[in-house]
Structure 1
Amino acid sequence: MKLILLNILLFVIMFADNTQLYAVQQYDSRDTFALNQRQRAIVAIAGLTAKGDLQRLKSQLNIGLESGLNVNQIKEVLIHIYAYAGFPRSIRGLQTFMTILDERKANGIVDVPGNEASPVNEDSSKYERGKRNLEKLTGVIENGPKTGYAAFAPTIEKFLKEHLFADIFERNILSFTERELATVSVLSSIEGVEPMLSSHLKICLNIGLRPEQLQQFVGMIRQVVGVREAEETQKVLNDVLKEKIPNSQ
């Protein structure tokens, strides 16, 4: 009798775990405004890496590979994360991915490496290239005097333009849309960065993501990262949508 009860308990635990792990696959692909499989995988991988939940990250890395992301694309997501969550989270994500690839190889699974990043056309300084990329993302021309943190600490503004928006965003392994989905997923998974999350949700709208897709994104944060994180993200998104689309609420 005890053995039967134990087996039932194990089944329940496995079922609950799989429900959570495969949240990335629960959306109807026939929905015109749904995030696609690759985009959903990026959201899950970025959020769990930023949170440091490496055990559940393993399953989402496998799902990402099965969802059409190649090895270099997933590596690029994990590299991108360091700009927003720091090197420790990024490196732990990469180490976890190495383990997954070794396990898959041992099981006879051959994963597609994918292309390396193409050489960058260095037609101007990194600062100017980063500035142009940021203008494309935000839709705002950067020609006024520096304000806020950029005026207070000009060095970090220079680093942002030259490194984040030039060195990183110019790498063509991921699209701007994929990078922004990774970014908002990271920012939704850590506390106290609501102004940055708001800015990047606005960028998501500016580069073509729809409100319905961002609502789906919040649902994924709820399922994959956590309820508290999703509730805070929803508040920020609600404010963004009220500003950008006044009749959206």
Structure 2
Amino acid sequence: MSGSNPRVAIVTGGSRGIGREVVTRLAADGLAVVVGYAGNKDKAEEAADAVRQAGGRAVAVRADVADENAVTALFDTAEEEFGGVDVVAHVAGKMVLQPLVDFDLAVLDDMHRTNIRGTLVVAQQAARRLRPGGALITFSSSIVVQATPAYGPYAASKGAVEALTLILARELRGRDVTVNAVAPGPTVTDLFLEGRDQATIDRLASLAPLERLGTPADLAGVVSFLAGAEGHWINGQIIRVNGGAI
């Protein structure tokens, strides 16, 4: 498309970490970007400002992904500001780690509200609104197959994301819209580093045969590929982006 009528992306969880890098990458690819965020307005506005300063188009919109009215408004804004929606990168999520035997059920409900209900709510709007040639990219986690202790309730929520993703890809037959999940391994973000000592970080880095942690740019590159024409024949897949750490 021409620069005056770009493709349009919504990125949830776009204020920091992997989501922020996805915002930057999709904007560099020429897409107008709606930066969805839950509470960190300053960081989200900073992400949108950076896109605009680089010559792109972006707005920041607050939306709790599990709130269907907020997510409807998020998509409405994308259509009103930029004319439609072509790509949805649903990066927003929560992770709480604790052995299952001690897990607080209120914490479970809150995490699953964001990770499962939030994915379903965002996917509903994406299914209704993505234009032909479009792509929905959900985020799972490689922990689903790594089966690491203390990750049970979180991994369960991401297993649900994978199931929803695979089934929605088939439900959208005839729409020319792809649905895939990206499943990161250990990735260097502020949230990842928080509370981890260097020995733990080194151990996680050693899991991959490539002997390093992932970076947000590693993930954003895969999202860029799935969002673009070259990745459009990939559909209904879980892509584990983890350097071989399985």
TM-score, normalised relative to structure 1: 0.32
Decide which structure has greater helix share. 1
If each structure's strand is expressed as a fraction of its own residues, which one has the higher value? 2
Larger radius of gyration, structure 1 or 2?
A: 1
TM-score by length of 2: 0.32
